[in-house]
Amino acid sequence: MKHKCPICKTATDSALHADFPFCSERCRERDLGNWASEKYVVSEPIFNEDDSGEGDRKTIILDLPDRSGEAEH
């Protein structure tokens, strides 16, 4: 898959670049640093905090295997 590096806009190819979608490890690490320094932000919340009370919330029950016999790490 061909793409442009989100940091420096150099052409990248998923078949050729191990750091895809970045062109290099340097650009990949710059992107990570941007997230860590909060240069990037998620623009919209996933949910509205006002809706956290009663309402249309759904409960999902997961049927997980019993692991009581396994050793703890």
Q: Where are the domains of the chain?
A: 2-40
What DSSP element (H or E) covers 3?
strand 2-4
> Looking at residue 43, what is its pLDDT?
75
Residue 62 in this model has a pLDDT that exceeds 80: no
CB-CB contact of 4 with 10 (8 Å): yes
Is the whole model's pTM more than 0.95, yes or no?
Answer: no
What residue has token string 């670049």? 17
> Looking at residue 7, what is its pLDDT?
93
Could you read off the pLDDT of 5-57 as tens digits, one per residue?
Answer: 999 999 999 898 888 999 999 999 999 999 999 888 877 766 666 655 555 66
